[in-house]
Homo-oligomer: A and B are copies of this chain.
Amino acid sequence: MRKQKIVILGAGYGGLMTATRLQKTVGANEADIVLVNKNEYHYETTWLHEASAGTLHHDRVRYDIKTVIDQNKVDFIKDTAVEVKTDEKKVILENGEIDYDYLVVALGGESETFGIKGLKEYAFSIVNVNSARQIREHIEYQFATYNTEEDKKDERLTIVVGGAGFTGIEFLGELGNRIPELCREYDVDFNKVKIICVEAAPMVLPGFDPELVEYAVSHLEKKGVEFRIGTAIKECTTEGIIVGKGEEEVEEIKAGTVIWAAGVRGNSLIEKSGFEAMRGRVKVQPDLRVPGHDNIFIIGDCSLIINEEINRPYPPTAQIAMQQGETCTRNLVSLIRNKTELETFKPDIKGTVCSLGEDDAIGVAFGKKMVGSKASFMKKMVDNRALYMIGGPSLVLKKGKFNIL
């Protein structure tokens, strides 16, 4: 009997969890496992706001994939997946192609700009290591340039964050720590700096407990953040943004830096491959397979799972992606061992913590609300847990967060 070939696309939380669980479970004679990723490193998507603000070096948020995979069991290919040819059971890569018997699409999401003019061209998005360090350098460059100009342009020191969701708020929290450092570094008056959060929805952190949201907003306002809620970005330009309330009112906010943190969608490979999807996310079966494709799993950012309690999709989080990786692994093992009954995926939300900078956070964990250093501690434990789940204690020691009060 021919050995089965399992191909995993993407080494994010879901893909890497699948690869590391499979290598422990599957015998070398049972299946070939191939992991494809565009970089030779994995990065912690949930820590990118720190690298973007410059409060954590980007080398702290990534690690070499080879440090966590067993190269006797898993072949690693550094390449970018472009399209799945489901009829031919193969994946087109940028520099080649690869056959599969079973495919796990665990690719990361992309920034969704909802067609807002100029966002793609002039705004930054916190999406990967490349973009994070570019944001960090862009902001530093604005500060470095300020004092070199005879005619001081205060708008260089204005940072607009589009979106008051999870990423937007966590990034604002880091800026709260970083801006005073930048002011010292470049001899800039703190009062000249403006940080403006623009959010089209009428609220901050939708879905979060209102008392916690209140805490977050007041914390960030104290650090100098100005909130413009219920305000939509109409256009992004080289000069800043144009906003409106409702249809008509229009105001220009000049800003040297615009960060778009308000939308994510699935990977563009999904549509290119002909999968039925909503904004690049496929509503998968309870066993995480794609309807109509018994040999293709989709997990992580490109999968869509409905939270029956509120009849809305679960947000794409690291927590869910990793849990999907575990279920996906067990289902793959069943399939290659010719068992027909597959497990149903059920998210087990242990909690959600939103960081507000170095030593503050808000969150709910094990059913309890918490704020301040307690929540911040919990956040660091969550971050360390993700490392532990994929790379064990040695990875936690290498990349973990131990700056605990």
Contacts and interface: CB of A to CB of B under 8 A. Distances in A.
A144 B145 CA distance: 17
Given A133-B186, A137-B143, 11 more contacts: A130-B148, A131-B148, A134-B148, A136-B144, A137-B140, A137-B141, A137-B144, A137-B145, A138-B141, A138-B144, A141-B141
Give this chain's copy count: 2
A145 B134 CA distance: 6
Interface in A9-59: none
A67 interface: no
21 contacts: A130-B147, A130-B148, A131-B148, A133-B144, A133-B186, A134-B141, A134-B144, A134-B145, A134-B148, A136-B144, A137-B137, A137-B140, A137-B141, A137-B143, A137-B144, A137-B145, A138-B141, A138-B144, A140-B140, A140-B141, A141-B141
Nearest to A39: B187
A186 B134 CA distance: 9
A390 B134 CA distance: 41
A134 B145 CA distance: 6
A130 B144 CA distance: 7
Which are the 10 A-B pairs with shortest beta-carbon distances? A137-B144, A137-B141, A130-B147, A134-B144, A130-B148, A141-B141, A133-B144, A134-B148, A137-B140, A134-B145
Nearest to A138: B141
Nearest to A142: B137
A144 B131 CA distance: 8
Contacts of A144: 133-134, 136-138
Interface in A141-159: 141, 143-145, 147-148
Nearest to A147: B130
A397 B352 CA distance: 50
Nearest to A135: B144
A81 to B, nearest CB: 15
